[in-house]
Amino acid sequence: MTIAPEEDRLNAQIAFAVEIDKLKRVIRRNHLIDGSRRENTAEHSWYVGTLAMVFGEHAPPGTDLQRVVAMLLVHDLVEIDAGDTFIYDPVAVAAQAEVERAAADRIFGLLPGEQGASMRELWAEFEDRTTPEARFAKALDRFAPILANHLNEGGTWPLFKVTATQVKEKVRIIQEGSPTLGAYALELVELSVARGHLPE
């Protein structure tokens, strides 16, 4: 039996759809804002994608928000293979790039050629942070856990002995993508310190 090219294409897309469902099983260290449980990476991707629409007015003028949303939807698919890298763990962060590149090759490679290449390009753009879209997307990715930790009395910060100095380093990335959100994040850090939820 001969398989038509369009059937081949659909089968590849179905294989990708089945594969990315695994993102729901990747548990992050961050908790939900109410502190009830840890979030999974699929929830995180949905959340920051939605934040791109909500906070779009705080992006640099001319930012393509549709591209930002698309980038945020695919930016963590590599965690299916690589797992969640805790950004305050320097050893894990040092090994992250190589592992995630291999994951991107495999996962986006499941799709038909040009479709996989397009999604992989979005992922690489997010990682490289060379465009306003990527910098804004990265800002939202960093903003979300700071907001959550602030609202649940430090959340994961005390669990992993994270300091205000370490968090402020991440705020710089937020400032690069959105000065408004960066300034707000810095206020959250200072408030968390004042309330005793984050040590200096």
- What pLDDT sits at residue 91? 87
Query: Is residue 180 assigned to a domain?
Result: yes
Distance CA 46, CA 24 (A): 11
Query: Is residue 9 assigned to a domain?
Result: yes
Instruction: Tell whether the model's pLDDT for residue 66 goes beyond 80.
Output: yes
Question: Chain-wide mean pLDDT for the chain?
Answer: 95
What is the domain extent for residue 37? 5-194
Distance CA 174, CA 167 (A): 11
Query: Is residue 155 assigned to a domain?
Result: yes
Is the CB of residue 80 less than 8 Å from the CB of residue 142? no
pLDDT digits (tens, 9 = 90+) for 120-150: 999 999 999 999 999 999 999 999 999 999 9
Q: What is the percent of the chain where pLDDT is above 90?
A: 90
DSSP state of 155: T
Query: Is residue 34 assigned to a domain?
Result: yes
- Structural domain total, the chain: 1
- pTM given for the model: 0.94
Query: Is residue 200 assigned to a domain?
Result: no
Reported as a pLDDT band with limits 50, 70 and 90, residue 2 is low
- What pLDDT sits at residue 131? 98
Residue 104's CATH number: 1.10.3210.10
- What pLDDT sits at residue 93? 87
Query: Is residue 199 assigned to a domain?
Result: no
